[in-house]
């Protein structure tokens, strides 16, 4: 599996894992919005998020998890833990995961120094922590608040603050090589999922190349089921969508394409 950011050719799926790092997420104090943004953004360029984990600000946990997932997926994206406080330990933990040292990056120091001079803020020792990068890492630009993220190997380390994470993700996108883009189709009908569950299972068995999910919904006194199909093969996707339409009609239900209105 990859040790660098180079991904396989676009003929195959390119995969990613997202690590949301922070005790504040696990405690419920902070509500995460980063995962959905990252997954949607990456899917547009052909990178499929296959796994996401929320892990605490514990160095051993971060080290072990980063090493596990960077060997399994083409890319790893982390959010959180790169600020100026004592519990911002992600940079140190990632350096340890790669077996390298960590120190002040001259360009990062310059960027932050100029930023605080321009804004009238004091470039304190605590804020200097945000200029520390693992040896061999390259900066990820942060046009918003200037403190950079970084890339080392196939791991991209970003801020936890959603607006900052988003500009970092935008700035690193041209480093990524995507593969086959995941497409989806949704068929919705006023039918209980238990009614069609068995035949949906048969359909899934016949078409393992297409992921089929069943999602019930309730709108007042009206209920139904949305069947969501996902695949990189558009032809296979359309075939399965057609079979789901036919299946609903077998039960006397006229389906609609898309989510319930």
**Start-end of CATH 3.40.980.10 domains in the chain:** 14-175
Share of the chain above pLDDT 70, in %: 96
Q: What would the CATH number be for the domain defined by 14-175?
A: 3.40.980.10
CA 228: distance to chain centroid?
20
**Start-end of CATH 3.30.70.260 domains in the chain:** 183-257
Reported as a single tens digit per residue, the pLDDT across 11-33 is 588 999 999 999 999 999 999 99
The per-residue pLDDT for 200 is: 94
62: confidence class by pLDDT, cuts 50, 70, 90: very high
Ranges assigned E (strand) in the chain: 14-21, 47-55, 75-79, 102-104, 132-134, 138-140, 149-152, 155-158, 183-189, 211-219, 222-231, 256-257
Q: For the domain with range 183-257, which CATH number is right: 3.30.70.260, 3.30.465.10, 3.40.30.10, 2.130.10.10?
A: 3.30.70.260
> Cα–Cα distances in Å, from 46 out to 34, 36, 109, 118, 132?
18, 15, 34, 39, 31
Reported as a single tens digit per residue, the pLDDT across 161-215 is 999 999 999 999 999 998 877 788 999 999 999 999 999 999 999 999 999 999 9
Question: What's the mean pLDDT when you consider all of the chain?
Answer: 92
């Amino acid at each position: 599996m990859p040790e660098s950011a180079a991904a396989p050719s676009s003929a195959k799926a390119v995969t990613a894992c997202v690590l949301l790092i922070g005790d504040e997420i696990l405690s419920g104090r902070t509500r995460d919005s980063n995962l959905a943004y990252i997954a949607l953004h990456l899917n547009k360029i052909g990178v499929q998020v296959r796994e996401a984990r929320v892990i605490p600000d514990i160095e051993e946990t971060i080290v072990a998890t980063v090493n596990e997932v960077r060997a399994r997926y083409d890319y790893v994206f982390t959010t959180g833990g790169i600020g100026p406080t004592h519990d911002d330990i992600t940079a140190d933990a990632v350096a340890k995961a790669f077996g390298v040292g960590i120190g002040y990056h001259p360009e990062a120091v310059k960027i932050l120094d100029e930023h605080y001079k321009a804004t009238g803020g004091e470039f304190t020792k605590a804020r200097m922590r945000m200029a520390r990068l693992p040896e061999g890492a390259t900066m990820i630009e942060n046009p918003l608040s200037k403190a950079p993220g970084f890339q080392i190997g196939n791991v991209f380390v970003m801020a936890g603050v959603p607006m900052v994470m988003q500009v970092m993700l935008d700035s690193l996108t041209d480093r990524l090589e995507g593969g086959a883009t995941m497409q989806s189709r949704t068929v919705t009908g006023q039918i209980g999922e238990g009614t069609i569950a068995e035949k949906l299972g048969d359909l899934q068995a016949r078409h393992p190349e297409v992921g089929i999910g069943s999602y019930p919904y309730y709108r007042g006194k009206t209920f139904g089921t949305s069947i969501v199909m996902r695949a990189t093969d558009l032809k296979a996707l359309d075939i399965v969508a057609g079979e789901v339409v036919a299946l609903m009609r077998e039960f006397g239900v006229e389906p609609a394409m898309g989510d319930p209105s």
